[in-house]
Every structure is written in C-alpha cells, then in structure tokens.
A = this chain, B = another copy of it.
Amino acid sequence: MNKNFSTSYRIYYEDTDASGVVYYANYLKFFERARTDFLRACGISQFTLAQTQSIIFMVRKCQIEYKNSARLDDLIEIKTTVKKFGGASIVMLQEMFRKDDAKLLNILEVEIACVNSKLMKPAKIPEAIKSAFTNEFNG
C-alpha cells in the first residue's frame, strides 16, 4: 500500500478569497475530491455503498499544514497514500502540489471512520474495499 494515487484539479474563482489566493477551508474540498476519486479508481462508489450497505465514511480528524498558497488558474496535483488501515478506520496522507513549479502547498493527515449510517456506529471496513485498495496500490 505504499504506491500513491495522483489526481489533478484546477483552481477557479470560487476557490479563492479576497486575499487573492485559495481560502483555507477550500483546500479540504480538493483533498476530499482526491479521496473520492481514489475510491472510484478502486471501483468503489460511495453513493452505492451508502445505498446498499448503509456504509459511510466520516472524517474524524484532520491535521493540515499550510506551506504555500494555491492561486487562481493554478493546476494542482494531489498525491494520496494510505498510511494505516485499521479495522474500522483509515489514515490517509495527502500532499498537494502546484503542477507548474512542483511546489508543495499543503499536507493533510486525515483519519476516516467507517460508519453504519443506520446505527451511527463504527462498522468494519468491507473486505471488498480492503482488497480493492490492496490490489490497486500494491505491486
């Protein structure tokens, strides 16, 4: 699980604020897009998972370090790695770069809990997800 998953996104006006760069909360939107695209690349639809198995993923903790700002029109790249795969939770490490000059912009460590949305209690991560992750991102 040491291979990382990479996706790119564009910065538009909606992402910026009056300081001229991306608003600090909006970086978390891009990180979430990357995690969703990561799951999609593993063949997992969060929507289907919620509908059929009442399994949802909820963020428990975020630790984000802001190094440099993303600007309007920037193309950013996010590298996502699974750091720890627990029974009912996943820890991911995500790094955001500016494509243009390869500058590191932000680092996020995020802990996500697998939850049964009907009981609102922790749920075991389905085997299908575990093996999808493993197959996709291990040699």
Q: How many residues of A are in contact with the other chain, CB < 8 A?
A: 39
Give the residue of B17, B45, B61, B71 whose beta carbon is less than 8 angstroms from that of A13. B17
Interface string of A66-92 (1 = CB under 8 A from B): 100001110000000000000000000
Q: In the complex the two chains form, is A29's CB within 8 Å of B56's CB?
A: no
Please indicate the chain B residues that have their CB under 8 angstroms from the CB of A36 in the complex: 12-13
Give the residue of B18, B50, B62 whose beta carbon is less than 8 angstroms from that of A62. B62
Known contacts: A14-B32, A32-B24, A62-B64. The answer to whether A47 contacts B73 by CB under 8 A is yes
Which chain A residues (3-45) contact chain B, with CB distance < 8 Å? 10, 12-14, 16-21, 23-26, 28-29, 32-33, 36-37, 40, 45
> Bound complex: CA of A21 vs CA of B19, how far in Å?
10
Give the residue of B20, B64, B73 whose beta carbon is less than 8 angstroms from that of A46. B73
Give the residue of B47, B63, B66 whose beta carbon is less than 8 angstroms from that of A72. B47
> Bound complex: CA of A62 vs CA of B12, how far in Å?
19
Please indicate the chain B residues that have their CB under 8 angstroms from the CB of A59 in the complex: 24, 66
Q: Which 3 residue pairs are nearest across A and B when measured between Cβ atoms?
A: A25-B28, A16-B18, A14-B29
